[in-house]
Amino acid sequence: MTTTVDLSGRMTRAQRATLPLSAEVAQALAEQHGVCVRPLAMRRIDTTGRTDIVPVPCGSTREDQCRPCADKARRLRMTQCREGWHLDAEPVTDRATPSEDHKALMATRADLCAVYTECKAIGDEVTCEQIAESVAELDAELRAAGVRGRLTPLDPPPRPVKRSTRRRQDTPDLPRRPIDKRTVGRVFAGRYRPSTFLTLTLDSYGRVDNEGAALDPDRYDYR
């Protein structure tokens, strides 16, 4: 239903309150076209140094936060369950063994870090700057060689002061359930998993026979 409002004359406060907000109009338009209603602004830098701001979908699975992203995630989950994307065994990830080049680069970086600490102690700022540039180049080579993980910075930032969260000693410990180191869901009754997708055939979505199967599967609305 569309409401026509005469904007030629002066409107009262009650009339202005009935007008839709611009944010609501934009959100309704985005939901109509299946576009994320709260995209994340990400900075993209290309090889020439040009910087662009690119909107990235939020990827929320909650409909009250972003209906298009939640619907997309639901349909993707349905497809995964229907095609049997669930693993029956734990995925085995064999980590590559460090090569001689990896060890040589890391050893050189460790030596430079030790020299940097000595030069900083005696106040040799020029040598410290040169070592910092060399360490930055080594870090880039390590990343290019396929080494991942956090590298210790030359000047580690001071540790923030955190409030103690130690529990009182005169109170009993809270109950804790044992945690298994696994990623595959538990199996119930020998064959059922919590992530199993179940399709129900209902007569309200199409005619079914006495056993509950659709009489015309091509015209039955499974959605």
Q: Is 60 exceeded by the pLDDT of residue 3?
A: no
Note the pLDDT tens digit of each residue in 140-182.
999 998 898 888 888 888 888 777 667 777 878 778 888 877 7
Grade residue 5 by pLDDT with cuts at 50, 70 and 90. Answer: low
The structure tokens listed for 59 are 């990827």
Query: What is the pairing mode between strands 40-45 and 51-56?
Result: antiparallel
Q: Is 70 exceeded by the pLDDT of residue 221?
A: no
- Cα–Cα distances in angstroms (integers) from residue 188 to residues 90, 118, 198, 215, in the given order: 17, 61, 15, 32
**CA-CA distance, 127 to 119, in Å (whole number)?**
7
Q: Is 70 exceeded by the pLDDT of residue 201?
A: no
Four-CA torsion 197, 198, 204, 206, nearest 10 degrees? 80
Q: What average pLDDT does the structure give for the chain? A: 81
What average pLDDT does this structure show over 207-211?
76
More confident residue, 123 or 170: 123
Q: Is 80 exceeded by the pLDDT of residue 4?
A: no
pTM of the model: 0.43
Q: Give the helix ranges, DSSP H, for the chain.
A: 13-17, 22-32, 67-83, 100-122, 125-144
Closest CA to 148 of 111, 91, 96, 90: 96
Span of 74-88, 99-113, 186-200 with lowest mean pLDDT: 186-200
Q: What is the DSSP letter of 205?
A: G
**CA-CA distance, 91 to 71, in Å (whole number)?**
28
Q: In the Cβ-directed half-sphere of 223, how many Cα atoms lie within 13 Å?
A: 6
Note the pLDDT tens digit of each residue in 7-31.
556 778 887 788 878 888 888 888 8
Angle at alpha carbon of residue 183, lines to 182 and 188, rounded to 5°: 85
Span of 72-81, 140-149, 195-204 with lowest mean pLDDT: 195-204
Give the SS3 label for residue 56: strand
- Asked if residues 185 and 195 have their Cβ atoms less than 8 Å apart, the reply is yes
Grade residue 134 by pLDDT with cuts at 50, 70 and 90. Answer: very high
Angle at alpha carbon of residue 32, lines to 29 and 34, rounded to 5°: 105
**CA-CA distance, 216 to 223, in Å (whole number)?**
15
Angle at alpha carbon of residue 203, lines to 197 and 209, rounded to 5°: 100
Q: What is the DSSP letter of 214?
A: B
